[in-house]
Structure 1
Amino acid sequence: MAIERIRVLRRATGVGSGLQRAQSFLILATLLYRGSHLTVGVLAVAQHRQDHPAQYLGLAAALGLSLLLYGAALTRGWFDPRHVWADVLVTGCLLPLALYAWGGVRETPALGWAMLLGGSASGVVSVALPRLQALTALALLVGTHLIGYHLVGASRAVLGGHVNSLLSSAVMTWVFWWYLRRQGRLLDEANARALAAETQKARYAERLQHHRALHDTVLATLTTLAAGGIDANAPEVRERCAKEAAYLRRLIQQTADEVHHPEMGAALEEAVSSVESLQLKVTAQYHELPAVPPEVAAAFADAAREALNNVRRHAGTGHAYLTAVGAGGPGGCDGTERSADGSDGDLGGPRGAVVTVVDRGPGFDPERVTPGLGLRRSVHGRMAEVGGRATVDSAPGEGVRVELRWPG
């Protein structure tokens, strides 16, 4: 059913909301930023003070906290404030001072890599912590920069540049986050509108499907009974009425999607039996019917039923002929020839089928008669929906021939 397809689509599109996408992107961006700073740290430790193990321990601590912070963020979808604070206090504040106290760092270049980590920490702080906590963490990072660079005798230019970098990282990350959230909300709203429109369209299509089914079954039965041409108490008429009452009951209870669509031969036979219960004799012949999808079998059966109903209502004859054959195999009606060794040619895909409904009534002039609702929707429309087509051939005095073909 159409509504069920919408539900399946909702479950299948597990791509997350716009906000979730924005969060994932920002986590990845700040991770790359931190990775660039850690790379500088590895190179710096390898070149300066290799005889001081405290620098290697400091670098290991920074790597460990980075793995904890970003690993948890990638797993949970966003930063854990506890991990952010641990990164700020250890990596951003304690590490530079520990390197000065125990790592033998007395020069600005040797301390610079640790200060760089404060810049990537400030970016996460600006988006992951509440405003007051974020301002407090930034103040701690700025204070660490001022103290650390003062201890190693850095110039004011170096100090000003690093503080500016720290604050700029926080501001730019916050701006990016604001923009991404805004775009995420717009995307979610657009998706919600599109889904609502698709749901509305699906509901309309489902109503149309039910209307066509009612036209082909219940309305056809009531029209025949009202015309008085059959005995309403006949067992076959009562059986048909009972089946259609059960269908109406399912429709009212919103369980019409439980209707079973049998394979093609059984589906056509069910349609023929349904019309024969209204005292129309049908001569049916089936030849090498292929396996088709359930929706195609249902379309063939429903379209054939409506064509037979039209025979009973309009042809002025009590006899119709239905033929169903496979298309593309021996005896098929698509013109496919057999190869020299007697095998079928390359069909290029699954076999199709052709169903014809013929009557020997008075016929009509197609140029003067406008097709009715049943012919347009229940015959042409049903076949078109499954990739097939229906053609109607008639002339005055020549009867009517309806051909249903799939694929079209």
Structure 2
Amino acid sequence: MGNEQRAAGTFSVEQPLWRAVSAFRLLTLLYAVGRYAGDAPHYSHPAAAWAYMAVLALWTFATVRQFSAKARCNWWWLSADLALVVAGILLTRGFDHMSYVDAGEVTLPTVRAAAAVLGFSVLGGWRPAALAGLVVGLANIGERGRITSSNVHNIVLLMLAGVAIGYVVELARASEQTLARALEIQAATRERERLARDIHDGVLQVLAMVQRRGAELGGGAEEIGRMAGEQEIALRALIAEGLTPNPSYEAPRRQLREVDPGQPQDLRALLTPLAGSRITVAAPGTPVLLPGRAASELGAAVGAALDNVRRHAGPAAQAWILVEDEPDGVVVSVRDDGPGFPAERLGEAVREGRLGVSQSIRGRLRDLGGSAEITSAPGQGTEVELRVPRQRDNSAKEKVK
């Protein structure tokens, strides 16, 4: 977890871009100085032009550190850089012969202006970059004294480049935030699983035992048992996949319908929402994986068993759901503290046409190749044991054939 957090915190997709901005400023400065050195003979005020180039060079070298990292560069630095470039573009009209200005000769900063726009792209995205590109374009129009096709061409290219780079920077920034969030979720999930493994076999079972014993003893112990049950529910909700408890006996029908039958499902994710003040869910601390259809049908069978508790044992009855992940299959037990019923009652219900148990519970398990055992006696509650076998490897089946 610590390594993942450090990785998310120290890695920044923007840092290489800032180093590129700093390097681009230096390279374009060298180009501007070299280009002016070749064009200086036709300038009417070469000394003044050289003075501007010296100021631009000193500024560029002095601000290398500021423009090499986002933490040190802000809008003031970028605005000052843009202002110096714009000043150089406008001064070109006063320092150069008008014939060369009218002919469209390059300005004093030349491509150094693109470096200023690039800084706005990396810091603020495409909108500030478009604005900076527009300012540079207007300065070029002012230097020429009119709008020309070459002016329009250069403005469009500069703005498109700034907008494109700014948009890419925004996407990179969003991707970095998504990656950091994913690493946080992964670390939290691993920590939650570790806590679940440590807690499940200790604290949760003790709380469940206190709840059951309190209900059996009655009196003041019953109140203690109820409080223990509430704390167990809260603790289980904290460590069980972030799912919220459901205080009723109703099965999460909507969630069951959303299960993808073609993908393995964690049975805990289907059954944990059933936990409430009257229902206790005990499951392993690690995922209990079943094929999507098997998990959905088993969850529906558990829901049908809880419906029977609500109808026959009453809304005040307590129910316990226990999930066991065994090597050869998954066993889910649903037990309640209701009045129970004689063993022959199930046969009578079938003969009377009430097929809830035989179809909603046993029928589902039979279709999965499993079984449903129902045990009850008057005054001793009811227990439904649902067993789903593990699917065998198809290749193994073919070898047997």
**Superposed pair shares fold, TM > 0.5:** no
Give the shorter-chain TM-score range: 0.3 to 0.5
Bigger RCO (CA 8 Å, 6+ sep): 1
TM-score (norm 2): 0.41
